[in-house]
Structure 1
């Protein structure tokens, strides 16, 4: 007899395609897939009230949840990652805007806490000597973790306004977008050769720019570590084979990326206190889930 099912909020990643088709783990345990799209709409309810037993979550949201004492466990599995240089765009019809010329400008991003924005700010700090506070950040929404308050150099636009429209109107000078990056010729990347710049960044750092990870509600994981382990194993078995590997799995493999993320979060004022890699993975390790 199979165990009772569990709830899972996860995007339509290729890693989860087989599980979605089966509706269950290989041992027959039922998976109740949450109907939530886009997947970032699951992050706030998971961080705030642990609405699901397990969920995909942006790594910045997961780290904020841990820092604010939310009962979630960050599991050592990357579900989504991408090179980030191409994610900051400008209006193509205006004079070219270099990364260095962004100082004092207005950059739109869905939320100051969005993981793609964190990565782009880290890149701008490194490659253009542009700290987060040197820019006017224009956002559409607040943090998934309710306790976090945006810094004073962040302002919110009226609900319903879209970043590409704000770019066209000249209300912002550049915008950071992730999965919703427009393929419209009206827009051009701020980095003139973003793919080459991303390859050079990766050659320097050797780090996967992790966006989304897997998390579990702590009470569920502590009560059912076997089911958490089984889901981890099933997703890991479906990891695509690619070079470079942008989907590290396991605490040791993820440590370099997590080290970079924690440093960037501290520099950008995204966490209420410093976190160490060991602290982040300790709850998973305690349950044998590393």
Structure 2
């Protein structure tokens, strides 16, 4: 029987490396791994459905469920997780000293629907007294003019949001005082330690550790999706791919703890890994539904509250049911 050929567009990650180099092969599938920047993957998958399988922004995926015919089905595989307290920057002359000072200010973000932005706004509202509608927002290119939302967003009149000028960039506006603050997944080029732009949280790592201690949440950024027409023709690929991606992730985690020669150019990699396990748990980068239900439910609440989904979805609604069930002997 011929193997099924699928393309998988994804970033360059240790947790997917074994799928790219072929040392882990999904049962019955020949996988062509396309290593692409996340923005390109998202754009091409959302606009043109170019790949059978792809990494996708959690926010974009949830938003796609509102369509009359949702084009994707997700697997409970989280290629990107990241705390986001370090993704909030302020103009040093703005007078913003603590999160509460953001109320009434003008804040830039590349796109309203970015997963990082959904988490940041939700965390600020839940834990720092900054309701989403207490801030005025500007959207546009961070480093290059002309960026627009990848998917249409209808926020009504509750959220004050408008695009920046066609020749403007958020990084430059932040440095010049055109906006008071910036929220996003990438560090703006105008941030230089000791310069005119600084992080809102002086010690973001400490803030993120405290956040996890209070909530048990390690935010999920990206999932893996299968094009729905592929899934409907071959429903078995959901569990098969989830199983292979879990094996690849577990292998990467084991290799990361090899102290004989550091795999990455980070001097304190091993102590950092040990601290992460101590604070977050041994399987802190867990896949699956059960261990992450509270994380997903929080995100889905934020997503709906911020006008990005027509209703509040339940975590189990996100995934192919075959991929959330474990086979045991």
TM-score by length of 2: 0.78
* Per-residue deviation, 1:53: 0.7
* Per-residue deviation, 1:45: 3.5
Q: Does 1:45 align with 2:44?
A: yes
* Per-residue deviation, 1:93: 5.8
2:187 and 2:165 mapped to 1: Cα distance?
A: 19
* TM-aligned CA distance change 1:150 to 1:259, over 3 Å: same
| RMSD, aligned α-carbons | 2.4
* Match of residue 158, structure 1, among 137, 145, 165: 165
Q: Does 1:205 align with 2:215?
A: yes
State whether residues 108 and 138 of structure 1, in contact with CA within 8 Å, keep that contact through their aligned partners in structure 2: yes
Q: Which residue of 2 aligns with 1:168?
A: 175
1:89 and 1:97 mapped to 2: Cα distance?
A: 11
Moved more, 217-226 or 5-14: 217-226
State whether residues 24 and 247 of structure 2, in contact with CA within 8 Å, keep that contact through their aligned partners in structure 1: no
Residue by residue, what CA displacement relative to the aligned partner does 1:240-284 show, whole Å, maximum 9, x if unpaired?
546225532111122111100011112211112221223223xx1
Gaps of 5+ in 1: none
1:248 and 1:88 mapped to 2: Cα distance?
A: 26
1:33 and 1:159 mapped to 2: Cα distance?
A: 36
Q: Does 1:18 align with 2:18?
A: yes
* TM-aligned CA distance change 1:159 to 1:11, over 3 Å: farther
State whether residues 6 and 31 of structure 1, in contact with CA within 8 Å, keep that contact through their aligned partners in structure 2: yes
1:238 and 1:179 mapped to 2: Cα distance?
A: 26
Q: Does 1:278 align with 2:284?
A: no
Moved more, 257-266 or 224-233: 224-233
SS at match of 2:89: strand
Moved more, 252-261 or 176-185: 176-185
SS at match of 1:236: helix
Say how many residue pairs are matched.
285
Moved more, 186-195 or 199-208: 186-195
Q: Which residue of 2 aligns with 1:133?
A: 133
Gaps of 5+ in 2: 141-146, 254-275
Counterpart mapping for 1:1-290 below 5 A: 2-22=2-22, 25=25, 29-34=29-34, 36-37=36-37, 39-69=38-68, 70-92=70-92, 95-140=95-140, 141-146=147-152, 148-152=153-157, 153-159=160-166, 161-180=168-187, 182=189, 184-185=192-193, 186=195, 187-239=197-249, 240-241=252-253, 243=277, 244=280, 245-281=283-319, 284-285=320-321, 287-288=322-323, 290=325
Moved more, 54-63 or 269-278: 269-278
